[in-house]
């Protein structure tokens, strides 16, 4: 069963034109996680921006448009302070970078031709590895140390929840009904009642 944080990220990629496969999760008690349970989302962009250039380590929404395929892992530590020491003490979050997990992930990009288009089938199955976090440290040396550690471990890009939420707020239209998405419908209602302001995301103004 997918969590709320994963659903937010799924809505973000779908709203930005990606095909998204959200992997099924199960309650785990005594058994070890299967390799495919280490990954939250498999995303593929059928029409990536051809002039997007090379994306930096921290992705912003303009960079995401150039991503063709990615495995995405979501860590919603919203109330925790992100730091290099947290990364060192939470090594299990990098299980998705293990060889057996990534080899299993390649099979998920074999999209059905009738559903998703022949163009995707003909292209190679290479992908980038994206870690979604609340934030990176804002000051050095903690910021540079965190980036260096993530890169050494094999993370290609990070994406923050602030980038995701700001983009969702910008793209939600008050004149469009999002009946199939509780999250987008809630954002639409908040905008209708002037409780969310673009682009600063000022909630519940006084």
Confidence at residue 126, expressed as pLDDT on a 0 to 100 scale? 84
Q: What is the pLDDT of residue 102?
A: 79
List the one residue out of 3, 5, 155 whose CA is nearest residue 78.
5
pLDDT beyond 80 at 171: yes
Residue that wins the pLDDT comparison between 14 and 34? 14
The rounded distance, in Å, linking the Cα atoms of 132 and 147 is 13
* φ and ψ of 152, to 5 deg: -65, -35
pLDDT, one tens digit per residue, over 177-189 is 998 899 999 999 9
How high is the pLDDT of residue 28? 54
Per DSSP bridges, beta strands 69-74 and 41-44 are: antiparallel
Please determine, for residue 140, whether its predicted confidence score (pLDDT) is greater than 50. Answer: yes
pTM given for the model: 0.81
Closest CA to 132 of 95, 167, 157, 153: 157
Q: What is the pLDDT of residues 114-129, one digit of tens each?
A: 444 444 444 545 899 9
Mean pLDDT in residue range 73-78: 81
Is residue 72 within 8 Å of residue 40, measured between CB atoms?
yes
pLDDT at 189: 94
The percentage of the chain sitting over the pLDDT mark of 90, rounded to a whole number, equals 42
For the chain, give the percent of residues with pLDDT over 70: 76
196 or 176, higher pLDDT:
176
């Amino acid at each position: 069963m997918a969590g709320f944080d994963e659903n937010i990220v799924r809505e973000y990629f779908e709203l930005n034109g990606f095909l998204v496969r959200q992997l099924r999760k199960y309650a785990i008690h005594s058994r070890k996680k299967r390799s495919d349970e280490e990954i939250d989302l498999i995303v593929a962009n059928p029409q990536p921006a051809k002039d997007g250039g090379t994306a930096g380590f921290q992705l912003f929404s303009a960079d995401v448009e150039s991503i063709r395929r990615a495995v995405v892992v979501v860590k919603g530590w919203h109330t925790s302070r992100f730091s290099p020491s947290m990364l060192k003490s939470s090594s299990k979050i990098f299980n998705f970078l293990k060889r057996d997990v990534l080899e299993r992930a390649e099979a998920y990009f074999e999209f059905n031709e009738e559903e998703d288009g022949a163009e995707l089938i003909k292209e190679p199955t290479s992908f980038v590895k994206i870690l979604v976090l609340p934030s990176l440290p804002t000051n050095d040396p903690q910021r540079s140390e965190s980036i260096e550690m993530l890169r050494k471990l094999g993370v290609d890009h990070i994406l923050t929840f602030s980038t995701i939420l700001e983009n969702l707020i910008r793209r939600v239209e008050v004149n469009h009904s999002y009946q199939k998405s509780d999250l987008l419908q809630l954002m639409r209602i908040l905008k209708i009642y002037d409780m969310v302001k673009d682009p600063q995301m000022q909630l519940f103004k006084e």
